[in-house]
Amino acid sequence: MTVAPRKFLLALLAGLLPLLTAAAPTTAPTNKRVLIISIDGCRPDLLLRGDTPTLHQLLDEGAYTFWAQTTAVSVTIPSHVSMLTGARPQVHQIEWNHDLPLAHPVYPAVPTLFEVAHNAGYTTGIVAGKSKFDVFLKPGTMDVSWVPSTEVVSNREVLSHVLSVINAGPPQVLMVHLPETDKVGHAVGWATPQYMAALHKADSAIGTILGTLASKQLLENTMIIVTADHGGAGKTHGPDDPRCRNIPWICVGPGVRRGIDLTSIATDRTIRTEDTFATACQFLGIPVDPKLDGRPVLEVMDRSGQELLSDAVPVATPTAAPTAGSTSVAKASAQAKSTAGSAPVAVAVPVKVAKVETPAPASTQPTTAPADANEPASPMATVNGHSTDGQ
Ligand SMILES: [Zn+2]
């Protein structure tokens, strides 16, 4: 059967028109950036007593609580989807925690942060350490992504891909997932020396990420939220256990209060993982559906959230060349001001970050995690390549 050319053209145009009218703006409404870092299975008390200098520095420079709560189920994928949609699992409908056959992709029932930000004109991206994060890869919502084809990889491999993304010009909304603490927790137990070593490695990875962003003058307009999907006890995690449900929530960025424990000023609210989505949206000037569970944590701001509610600022393209070696966000901010002239956001984020350490390059293709002497064997049983435990 053939179709007449004109008829075919009209049909084609009719099909394209809705796509064209629904297309996302090509220019971001502001020059703001959001970086969300999730340390898989990071229990707050362990973060506090761990060798975590970068995270402790972020506490000094930001607003935080160690009494935030993840979803009631306290497992990886439902909790991360709540973190990045602002909705409870019953609402976003991702209540499973395992890989799905790629032939049948299932995405959250409500828009993710990536989708709303992309539709608003921001660039978006994710680098995650577990294959089941493909739940976020809804077509048309992500500008750059790396999710492994193997079940779980090392922090080192994740970091390598994060640095590749940053060096290529990072998206304005970037989510980074560091999997190794959870992996070690399942293998030998939460709070073990091995777990604490993995937590230190996560801290080092975050230092490298922030240092790299700072060296490119990309932090001064960035809201950073460091959090987790759940904690853990023994070799597992799950519902109805405060050791699993309490998560850290640390926010640093322009206008964010410095060194403030949010429990000292927000005694009538418990910050929940859904609030991460809402706070990021508020910062980016994206309306949050009031029917969602997540609420912006306006308490992080100096003036009752006025910075979060301020008008959008024009986009400013970073002009300074990257610098190498040791750096700090304050130094990077000063450099950006001197080169960008009327850069609209004047609030520096004076986070001191460690010397940038570039890890060994990883393959650009999803591969099995590289051998790492400090890494235990994967604790997860698999059936046809799909995880069968509760990670
Ligand atoms: Zn997890």
CATH number for the domain that contains residue 272: 3.40.720.10
Q: Give me the percent of the chain exceeding a pLDDT of 90.
A: 63
197 inside domain: yes
d(C-alpha 171, C-alpha 127), whole Å: 11
Distance 95 CA to ligand 1 centre (A): 13
| CB contact at 8 A, 219 and 330 | no
pTM of the model: 0.75
Distance 182 CA to ligand 1 centre (A): 6
Distance 74 CA to ligand 1 centre (A): 8
Distance 25 CA to ligand 1 centre (A): 34
Distance 41 CA to ligand 1 centre (A): 5
Q: What is the pLDDT of residue 105?
A: 80
Distance 78 CA to ligand 1 centre (A): 9
Average pLDDT estimate for 78-93: 97
Distance 237 CA to ligand 1 centre (A): 9
Distance 40 CA to ligand 1 centre (A): 5
Look at the chain and report how many structural domains it folds into. 1
Q: What is the pLDDT of residue 269?
A: 85
133 inside domain: yes
102: confidence class by pLDDT, cuts 50, 70, 90: low
pLDDT at 248 over 90: yes
- DSSP structural state of residue 133: G
Distance 268 CA to ligand 1 centre (A): 28
d(C-alpha 58, C-alpha 259), whole Å: 8
1 inside domain: no
Distance 244 CA to ligand 1 centre (A): 10
Residue partners of 128: CB distance under 8 A and separation at least 6: 136, 146, 147, 148, 158, 175, 176, 177, 179
Q: Which of 96, 182, 184 is nearest to 132 (CA)?
A: 96
68 inside domain: yes
Distance 216 CA to ligand 1 centre (A): 31
Distance 39 CA to ligand 1 centre (A): 8
Mean predicted lDDT score pLDDT of the chain: 78
Q: What is the pLDDT of residue 265?
A: 83
pLDDT at 28 over 70: yes
Distance 77 CA to ligand 1 centre (A): 7
d(C-alpha 131, C-alpha 366), whole Å: 9
Q: Which of 385, 238, 255 is nearest to 313 (CA)?
A: 255
Q: What is the pLDDT of residue 252?
A: 97
Distance 89 CA to ligand 1 centre (A): 15
Residue partners of 24: CB distance under 8 A and separation at least 6: 118, 119, 120, 121
8 inside domain: no
Residue type, 387: S
Distance 91 CA to ligand 1 centre (A): 20
Q: Which of 226, 224, 216, 207 is nearest to 359 (CA)?
A: 207
Residue partners of 76: CB distance under 8 A and separation at least 6: 40, 97, 130, 132, 182, 229, 230, 391
Q: What is the pLDDT of residue 103?
A: 63
386 inside domain: no
Distance 66 CA to ligand 1 centre (A): 17
Q: What is the pLDDT of residue 318?
A: 37
Beta strands across the sheet bearing 260-261:
144-146, 124-127, 173-178, 33-39, 222-227, 246-252, 63-69, 260-261
pLDDT at 368 over 90: no
For residue 180, the number of C-alpha atoms closer than 13 Å in the C-beta half-sphere is 26
Distance 203 CA to ligand 1 centre (A): 17
390 inside domain: no
Q: What is the pLDDT of residue 317?
A: 38
Average pLDDT estimate for 80-93: 97
Residues comprising the chain, all counted: 391
Q: What is the pLDDT of residue 321?
A: 37
Range of the domain at 58: 32-364
Residue type, 46: L
Distance 76 CA to ligand 1 centre (A): 4
Distance 11 CA to ligand 1 centre (A): 46
Q: What is the pLDDT of residue 301?
A: 83
Query: Higher pLDDT residue, 184 or 268?
Result: 184
Q: What is the pLDDT of residue 101?
A: 57
Q: Which of 65, 62, 66 is nearest to 44 (CA)?
A: 66
Evaluated on CA atoms 134, 136, 142, 147, the torsion sign reads: negative
Alpha helices by DSSP H, listed for the chain, are 5-21, 44-49, 53-61, 76-85, 89-92, 113-120, 155-167, 180-188, 193-215, 242-245, 274-284, 306-309, 329-340
How confident is the model over 191-241, as pLDDT tens digits? Answer: 999 999 999 999 999 999 999 999 999 999 999 999 999 999 999 998 989
Distance 331 CA to ligand 1 centre (A): 35
Distance 380 CA to ligand 1 centre (A): 12
Question: DSSP string of 354-376?
Answer: PPP-PPPP--SS--PPPP-TTPP
| CB contact at 8 A, 273 and 69 | yes
Q: What is the pLDDT of residue 309?
A: 46
| CB contact at 8 A, 29 and 285 | yes
98: confidence class by pLDDT, cuts 50, 70, 90: confident
240 inside domain: yes
d(C-alpha 58, C-alpha 353), whole Å: 9
